[in-house]
Amino acid sequence: MTKPELREPVAILVPDHFNEHASCRIDQIFQRVTIEQADPALVTEEMRRTVRGIASFGGINAALMNALPNLEIIANFGVGYDSVDASHAAQSGIMVTNTPDVLTEEVADTAIGLLINTVREMYAAEKWLRDGSWVKSGAYRLSRLTLRGRSVGIFGMGRIGLAIARRLEAFGLPVAYHNRRQVEGLAYQYHPTLKGLAEAVDTLISVAPGGASTEKAVNAEVLSALGANGIFVNIGRGSTVDEAALAAALASGTIAAAGLDVFADEPNVPQALLAAPNTSLLPHVGSASEHTRRAMADLCVDNLVSWFAERRPLTPVPETVQVRPRS
């Protein structure tokens, strides 16, 4: 998008350590106001008076919104926005946008890579080569697990879930799913409960968003239903998993292995998961390529541009689709 024609610079609040490309674009178009962190106690009188937008990775609560009486829009960097109080924003007449679609394919690629790495122990095999064990001790052991003959359940059949499902089809694997409601026109088998899905498959991939409705949805009961040959992969949100139950399931053989890109208290990963030999762990890199993060940054800023230049959002979240610009 080109620079909007604004009668005066619009102040956009940006918490520290934001995306560099997005920050540079904001500097070119708006008046960027930085704050050390998204804490209402750090809001100055000038910010209260001038700030009309926020660009952030999330972490925007009701208290911060209330501290900024002229706030019109929160441009969230990322498709997940569970750390933004979107319900309070809607009640307060504040638009919330996110960055869907531009990261779908990258995250789906990561999910498949994480699944294969978990099943075939690619990380451990590479380490065997690099540390000289292949020369000293011979070939790496045969992997106990395989993708062959597996059936996959997807928890969260949205844009990313569908992209993962299409990739799995190319692997010749049957796909089923669980959502809050069935997706109209989708041929994959639908299960109305997560436990029911876990009982029907041996590989469960979670792409579910965070929030109260999915808090620890993948629990001991679901993992038990997945079974001793089961593989669990999480590319969605760490909060959707009972990590203590997962660690126990891995240790006891309740499930066979897990691949995780997200955790409940990032960057702090439970020691029990770090120590588990049957895990493949990544530091939340699902969309972390320069190409995709730049596209996300552009969409984040384009939402601000569109809101203030054309008085409309590009990608509003469902909770705030009815919010209208202030006169």
Catalytic residue annotation:
237, 266, 284
Contact 106, 286 (CB under 8 A): yes
Torsion of CA 8, 10, 16, 19, to 10 degrees: -100
Q: Which residues contact 78 (CB under 8 A, 6 or more apart)?
A: 57, 58, 98, 99, 103, 287, 296
Q: Which residues contact 24 (CB under 8 A, 6 or more apart)?
A: none
- Whether the bond into 192 is cis, omega within 30 of 0: no
Place of tokens 């844009």: 159
Q: Which residues contact 305 (CB under 8 A, 6 or more apart)?
A: 1, 3, 4, 29
> How many Cβ atoms from other residues are within 10 Å of residue 190's Cβ?
16
